[in-house]
């Protein structure tokens, strides 16, 4: 298998900052590790649901939130390694087609949390092709700032299930840690939705 890392040039923090700049009441679910740090670096928010130690779960948690909150835009921001572990969720989500859900993959082709080993995406598995084959109605691969701007606009507009494979640089950035207390994060998220803590 060849190493396919062409086009992985975008700065992850710049991308996430741009996607969340005009977030309004957008709900954001993060995958573990760098995706959580990137979202936190863009600004902590009560509408952020950070996942800790739940590798492979981000897309399905996002699907559940989208179905429970159909009037809000729900965005999952996660990495290629985390998405690879939850591959089967793409088929389920594509069948359910929540129109207010967007899945954004920060794809550097590496497992960033375990030592930057090449991931399957780094070896050439195309996540956008997988989402397309599952039946996602809107799929895009983003390799430049113009694509990031178009994606940011579509996250706000919503209206259709979408999947975006964003090609970012493979780099280790300083960690910006969000709250690590799962009960606190859950209850803060519920409060932001107008729900009682439990």
Confidence of residue 108 (pLDDT cuts 50, 70, 90): confident
Alpha helices in 69-194 (DSSP H): 80-85, 88-96, 127-134, 145-157, 182-192
Q: How many CB atoms lie within 10 A of CB 9?
A: 11
Residue 116 confidence (pLDDT) above 70: no
Confidence of residue 5 (pLDDT cuts 50, 70, 90): low
- Summarised one tens digit per residue, pLDDT across range 42-93 is 999 999 999 987 888 999 999 999 999 999 999 999 998 889 889 999 999 9
> pTM of the prediction?
0.93
- Summarised one tens digit per residue, pLDDT across range 136-160 is 999 999 999 999 999 999 998 878 9
Rounded mean pLDDT, 169-178? 88
Residue 167 confidence (pLDDT) above 90: yes
**Angle (deg, nearest 10), helices 58-68 and 88-96:** 20
Distance between alpha carbon 8 and the CA centroid of its chain, in Å? 17
Residue 19 confidence (pLDDT) above 80: yes
Q: Domains along the chain? A: 12-192 (3.40.50.970)
């Amino acid at each position: 298998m060849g190493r396919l890392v062409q086009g992985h040039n975008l700065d992850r923090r710049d991308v996430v900052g741009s996607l969340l700049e005009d977030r309004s009441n957008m709900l954001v679910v993060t995958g573990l590790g760098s995706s959580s740090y990137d979202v936190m670096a863009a600004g902590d928010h009560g509408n952020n649901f950070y996942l800790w130690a739940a590798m492979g779960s981000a897309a399905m948690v996002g699907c559940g939130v989208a179905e429970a909150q159909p009037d809000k835009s729900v965005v999952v921001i996660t990495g290629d390694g985390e998405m690879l572990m939850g591959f089967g969720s793409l088929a389920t989500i594509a069948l359910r087609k929540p129109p207010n859900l967007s899945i954004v993959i920060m794809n550097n082709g590496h497992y960033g949390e375990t030592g930057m080993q090449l991931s399957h995406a780094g070896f050439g598995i195309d996540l956008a092709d997988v989402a397309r084959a599952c039946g996602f109605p809107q799929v895009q691969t983003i390799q430049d700032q113009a694509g990031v701007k178009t994606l940011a606009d579509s996250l706000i507009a919503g209206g259709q299930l979408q999947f975006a494979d964003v090609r970012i640089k493979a780099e280790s950035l300083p960690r910006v840690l969000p709250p690590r207390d799962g009960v606190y994060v859950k209850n803060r998220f519920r409060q932001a939705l107008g729900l009682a803590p439990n």
